[in-house]
Structure 1
Amino acid sequence: MNAGIRFKLSFMMFLEFFIWGGWFVTLGTFLSQNLQASGPETANVFSTQSWGAIIAPFIIGLIADKYFNAERILGVLHLVGALLMYLMYSAPDVSVFFPYALGYMIIYMPTLALVNSISFRQMDNPEKNFSAIRVWGTIGWIAAGLAISYIFQWDSQPGALKYTFLLSGIGSLILGLFSFALPKTPPIKKSTGEKSSISDILGLDAIKLLKDRNFFIFFISSILICIPLAFYYQNANLFLHEIGMENPTGKMTIGQISEALFLLLLPVFFTRFGFKNTILLGMLAWVLRYVLFAYGNVGELSYMLIIGIALHGICYDFFFVSGQIYTDSKAGEKYKSSAQGLITLATYGIGQLIGFQVAGLVSEHYSGLATSEFWHSVWLIPAGIAAVVFLIFLFSFKNEKTEAPVLEQ
């Protein structure tokens, strides 16, 4: 890969995740403080991510893969996204905000697959080249959080979080225009008579894998563990704001730094402890994270909050990345992409859709409590759910050999 293409792909990844990290991390705080949204209203807005994940395969599988260059679709989607970001910035209340957020997520979620597709098509050896490109996405997410807290200081200014939508909108506009300068990525011509079915696009062809007892247990556990995951996305930034942590959005980037570091350690854990123990450690990290949030504070126990944030690398990599690798090994050549589609639909679609609604109902249930008591009660719920999933997986999943991944920079 020549330097020019490498730069273009890296800048594309940086902007792709800068845009997402620039508004989604602080969304819960914005909805509460700026739009006075209730728990269920906040849950409905966060659920737009899940609806976007469910609808995205249709856009990519039925349109992008057949008719148009991927980089052109990416450009159009982000230009429309920039407009929707401005409308979200201008929304006076949550009832106006919600349809714009839903529209945005429906067009943004497909871009996650598009940037990967554009990158892979430029690589002779994706296994070696992709991680060096993808890491710029993590850097972009971190840059957005640091900018919000330490450059613009919107965390500490009442009502200022609405400007995060302008920040992401500008990023979306830049990426939308820049996309037309990306390497041409036309649709791959299929063999004569070969068609993409809806069941293949949604991963439904891989349902037969659920006949395997271990894979079925992993599949159900993947859905269930996304319920506590949704609590983090929906509540973490608001929680840190309300208990008085300074620059919470900037401090939350510790989680992304941790994610990058633990990704490098994942092959070691796979080799030494196997898939089951690695994924169990990821589940246990979710329990520990929420217990730390429930009992920590911004005083003498502030270290508990920082550790809880830093556990994101183990929480995400050791469960979700491990799960993707396990799914790949179980699927075989025929169902590899279909199986990954099934797991994505189960986690980002069904699992988080349930999780956001549960998180909203829990917040509404405890809404009458004082701040410290409220958050103590809220965080113990996902800790308990994660503990139950841990026990189900521990006693139901039988050890089996899975090859360790090779992650190269």
Structure 2
Amino acid sequence: MNTSVKIRLSVMMFLEFFIWGAWFVTLGTYLLKNLHTTGTEVGVAFLTQSIGAIVAPFIIGLIADKFFSAQKILGVLHIAGAILMWMCSTAPDFKAFYPYVLIYMIIYMPTLALVNSISFRQMTNPSKEFPPIRVLGTLGWIVAGFTIGWLGWEQHGTLDLTFKTAAAASLILGLFSFTLPATPPAKAGQTTSIGDILGLDAIGLLKNRSFLVFFLASVAICVPLAFYYNFTNPFLNEVGMQGAAGKQAFGQVSELLFMVAMPFFFVRLGVKKMLAFGMIAWVLRYIFFAYGNIDTNYWMLIAGIVMHGMCYDFFFVTGQIYTDNLAGERFKSAAQGFITLATYGVGMLIGFLISGPIVDSYKTGETHNWTQIWLIPAGIAAVVLVIFLLLFKDKTSMNTDPSLNLDEQKDMRLDV
């Protein structure tokens, strides 16, 4: 790629995740404080992410891959998203708000695949060229969080500005998308089945007992993940943390640092221990939240946030590598699509449905019993961890060189 293309792709990736981070982190607080919703309604609002994740493969598989250039679809979706984000900011109550956020997530989730597709199609060596561009996405999310915290929108009750900020950024990216390199449809004229779209060709991997255990653990661990997405920001604001959204951005900083360190741990620990340490981190994170406070145990709140990097990288990134190598060349894409549908679609859908009523059940007046609330996802993660340790058989041969980067290690076959 020439420098011009690299810059344009980097700007695209920065804006893509800045948009998401600008409103998604503080959504729960906005709904509870500004629209006076229940915890159940907060869960229903976050559930739109799972709906979007389920619908996204159909938009990509039936439209983007067959009929229109990816950069043009990206532009249209983000311009439409800008309108919907602005409408979210003006909705007077949850009944009016929900249709806007639902439609928005249905059209936003496909853009996550589109920005990757546009990037990969311009690269000759994606394993080396993609990471420096993708990291701009995480930086965009971090900048959004720090900006919200610095401006004090949570404390001032002006979180409607998060949607307006996302709308402005979405409009900019929508218009900017038409300047991106041409990315014509990759499967024009080809027949695409529902099984291809959902990655069901990879379902045969479930015959492998270890993969079946990993698959079920991945779905189950997304249930406590939903608690984190839904209620971390409302929790931190309720206990009195200043600039909570900015503090939460340290979770993405941690994600970057753990990503850099993963090759070191991957070679020395292997798949099973990496996945296990990731789940242990989930348990500890929620325990820290349960017993943390703004006074003597403030460090626990910060530790729970910072552990996001280990929670995400050690489990999900390791799981993606494990799935990639187990699937083989024929089913690589199908396997990744299948596991994504199961986790962000089914697993988090369950989590979003149960987390809201649980939070409501521990509400007294205007406050919540957060200790009891956070011990529930901690317990779920602990049960998943124990079952995983008992049933997952690590037959992986990690014949990898510690000097290899993570992408080079992904290309090496795991003997499972």
TM-score for the superposition, normalised by structure 1? 0.97
Distance in 1, Cα, partners of 2:379 & 2:394:
24
Shift of 1:406: 3.0
**Aligned equivalent of 1:233:** 229
> Deviations 1:289-326 (Å, cap 9, x if unpaired)?
00000001011210111011000000000000111111
Residue of structure 2 in register with 1:41 after alignment: 41
Q: Distance in 1 between matches of 2:187 and 2:32?
A: 48
Q: Deviations over 1:139-164 (max 9, x none)?
A: 000010111111x2212202x00110
The 5-angstrom pairing of residues 268-279 of structure 1 reads 268-279=264-275
Query: Is 1:327 aligned to residue 326 of structure 2?
Result: no
* Deviation of 1:235 (Å): 0.4
Instruction: For 1:75 and 1:402, locate their aligned partners in 2 and report how far apart those are by CA, in whole Å.
Output: 44
The residue number in structure 2 matching 1:157 is 156
CA apart distance, 1:369: 7.1
The residue type paired with residue 322 of structure 1 is T
Q: SS of the counterpart of 1:22?
A: helix
Structure 1: state its 5+ residue gaps.
none
Aligned-residue offset at 1:270: 1.2
Alignment of 1:122-201 (within 5 A): 122-150=122-150, 152-158=151-157, 160-189=158-187, 194-201=190-197
Q: Distance in 2 between matches of 1:379 and 1:368?
A: 16
Once the two structures are superposed, what CA deviation does each residue of 1:231-265 show, in whole Å capped at 9, x if it has no partner?
A: 00000000000000011000111100000010111
Q: Distance in 1 between matches of 2:39 and 2:301?
A: 23
Aligned to 1:376: 371
Aligned-pair identity in percent equals 59
How far does residue 407 in structure 1 lie from its aligned partner after superposition?
2.9
CA positional deviation for 1:200: 1.1
Matched length:
404
For 1:227 and 1:335, locate their aligned partners in 2 and report how far apart those are by CA, in whole Å: 27
RMSD: 1.4
Deviations 1:190-245 (A, max 9, x none): 6x8x5221101101111111111011000000000000100000000000000000
**Distance in structure 2 (CA, Å) of the matches to 1:127 and 1:212:** 28
Select which of 239, 262, 267 maps to 2:263.
267
Residues 228, 385 of structure 1: 8 Å contact kept = yes
Q: Deviations over 1:93-140 (max 9, x none)?
A: 001111101000000000000000000001110000100000000100
Instruction: Give the secondary structure class of the aligned counterpart of 1:364.
Output: helix
Q: TM-score scaled by structure 2?
A: 0.95
In the superposition, relative to structure 1, how do residues 335 and 85 fare at CA in structure 2: closer, same or farther (>3 Å)?
A: same
- How do residues 293-308 of structure 1 correspond to structure 2 at under 5 angstroms? 293-308=289-304
Asked if the contact 1:275/1:402 (under 8 Å) is kept, the reply is no
Cα deviations by residue, 1:159-198 (Å, 9 ceiling, x for unpaired): x0011000000000000000000000001246x8x52211
Deviation for aligned residue 1:374:
1.0
Relative distance call for 1:211 and 1:59 in structure 2 (3 A) is: same
